Amino acid sequence: MDINQHFIAIVPAAGVGKRMQANCPKQYLHINKQTILYHTVTKLLSHPLITKVIIALGENDQYFSTSGLANHKDIIRVNGGAERVDSVLSGLKVVDSHINPWVLVHDAARPCVSLEDIDKLISQCLDTNCGGILASPVRDTMKRGTFLQDGLSRIDNTVEREQLWHALTPQLYKTDELTFAIEQALSKALKITDEASAIEFAKLPSLLVLGSSENIKITNPDDLALAEFYLNKQLVK
């Protein structure tokens, strides 16, 4: 990978982690005595091509100041927004596309991403001059369902899983294209849950770059132990 440029990573970290049912936002839960946010941000900054991280924080965030990241010279803080997409857009507003024509976006809740997968994403996107995302193919039979009463659900149909992928992060796009795509999608009140969906609405292409299924998003309580296992597995490599 003959890359002679450096990258900024935007880390949306302004969520409250409702599904985690914890006593603090999930990005501030600890694994091996460090916060998940600390693991994620230091992982990104350990990549030789990532030189700055822009972290979008909640307006009332009371944890960041003691996270071990507060005075890091390569971290820029911005205010997050009501939705993840708003937090990402806040980060994009402080990126100079002349200096950083490409930008990575990576969830604070994904500390298990590997440097090798980040290399693959950067390499494939820059070699093809096309934005893209890390993704992992679906392995199970997939069903579409309908909620019934009393918390029950029923199967409506089986969803074809050929070329069905889990969208992961980082997602890597040209700064100007991503900013335009997100602003356009928001102006049309379109539902944007990742950068790729805004790019799709803008009818721009995206690569699917095969990434490890160990790059989980810590979302529900049982994800924490799994993330700890994967992080510790990386330590012994």
Which positions lie near ligand LQXTBERG, rule CB under 6 A?
84, 107, 167, 169, 193-194, 217
At 75, phi and psi to the nearest 5?
-115, 130
Is 201 exposed, middle or buried, given 0-12, 13-18 or 19+ CB atoms closer than 10 A?
Answer: middle
Report the residue number, 89 or 209, with the smaller CB distance to ligand CTP. 89
Cα distance between residue 51 and residue 48, in whole Å: 7
The distance of closest approach from Cβ of residue 183 to ligand LQXTBERG in the complex, given in angstroms and rounded to an integer, is 18
Residue 102 parent element (H or E): strand 102-105
- The yes or no reply on residue 52 touching ligand CTP (CB under 6 A) is no
98-134: burial string, b at 16+ Cβ within 10 Å, e else: eebebbbbbbbbbbbbbeebbebbbebbbeeeebbbb
Interface pick for ligand CTP out of 79, 213, 219, 234 (rule CB under 6 A) = 219
At 19, phi and psi to the nearest 5?
-65, -20
Q: How many residues bind ligand CTP (CB under 6 A)?
A: 22
**Residue 213's binding partner out of ligand LQXTBERG, ligand CTP, none, with CB under 5 to 8 Å set by partner kind:** none
Interface pick for ligand CTP out of 1, 5, 19, 158 (rule CB under 6 A) = 19
Report the residue number, 117 or 194, with the smaller CB distance to ligand LQXTBERG. 194
The distance of closest approach from Cβ of residue 112 to ligand CTP in the complex, given in angstroms and rounded to an integer, is 13
| Residue whose tokens read 């149909």 | 157
**Residue 176's binding partner out of ligand CTP, ligand LQXTBERG, none, with CB under 5 to 8 Å set by partner kind:** none
DSSP 160: P
Structure tokens at 25: 């936002």
The distance of closest approach from Cβ of residue 163 to ligand CTP in the complex, given in angstroms and rounded to an integer, is 24
Tell me the helices (H) and strands (E) count for the chain, helix number first.
Answer: 6, 11
Draw the binding track, 94-133, toward ligand CTP (x: CB under 6 A; -: no contact): -------------xxx------------------------
- The yes or no reply on residue 170 touching ligand CTP (CB under 6 A) is no
Interface pick for ligand CTP out of 8, 56, 95, 192 (rule CB under 6 A) = 56
Cα distance between residue 121 and residue 117, in whole Å: 6
228: helix, strand or coil: helix
Is 198 exposed, middle or buried, given 0-12, 13-18 or 19+ CB atoms closer than 10 A?
Answer: buried
- The yes or no reply on residue 87 touching ligand CTP (CB under 6 A) is yes
- The yes or no reply on residue 27 touching ligand CTP (CB under 6 A) is yes
The distance of closest approach from Cβ of residue 198 to ligand CTP in the complex, given in angstroms and rounded to an integer, is 14
Catalog residues that contact ligand CTP under the rule CB under 6 A: 12-19, 26-27, 56, 80-84, 87, 107-109, 217, 219
